[in-house]
Amino acid sequence: MDDQRKEIIINEINYWKQNRMLPGHYCDFLLNLYTEGVSEALPAAKKSQFALPKILTVFLLGLLSLSVLLFYFTELSLILQIAIIILFGISSLISGVYLISKSYLKLIPLLTTALILLIITIQAAEISFPDNTYILYFVTIANCLLWVIAGVKWKMISFKISGIAGIVLLIITIFI
């Protein structure tokens, strides 16, 4: 086989691997077959492609820490709290959806997004209805049910357990 044809095939296999059109071990096997065991280094674009999910994961962890700090250890005005709630909610949802859609389905981004949404919805319920604890119970149960649904959809046992445990603890808290 001539070198030009091998180069075209190797580029195609690298493209398949980068876009996950074939499982990685299949592509590695084919690359080893066509390069005769001499594997070439991945292009720089491949390395920078994985930087964004790591940056978004660190961003979500920072957002979680910042939301806990801002909402529970400082006293902010009502308008500033609402603005921060909206900003954090939109940021965490966009980051989480991006990481899920690009199939970087990892526990940390999903968990931080779920916790940020829990904190935000509880804070929003406390701001909107300060004396009504039933709304707070409803918001917490809705978040726990969302965790159970996410656990079933993405087959993540940690979300199922967290959602069920949250519902059970809330029911125990309400009736005891």
pLDDT 10s per residue in the chain (176 long)? Answer: 677 888 888 888 888 888 878 888 888 888 888 887 776 544 544 555 567 777 887 888 888 888 888 878 888 887 887 888 888 888 888 887 787 777 655 677 788 888 888 988 998 898 889 889 999 999 999 999 999 999 998 888 999 999 999 999 999 999 98
Predicted local confidence at residue 45, as pLDDT: 46
Q: Which amino acid is at 42?
A: L
Mean confidence (pLDDT) of the chain: 83
pLDDT in tens, 11-43: 888 888 888 788 888 888 888 888 877 765 445
Cα 95 to Cα 73: distance, rounded to the nearest angstrom: 25
- Residue 56, number of CB atoms within 10 A of its CB: 20
Listed as own residue / partner, the contacts of 155-158 with beta carbons closer than 8 Å and 24 or more positions apart are 156/107, 156/110, 158/107, 158/111
Cα 154 to Cα 135: distance, rounded to the nearest angstrom: 28
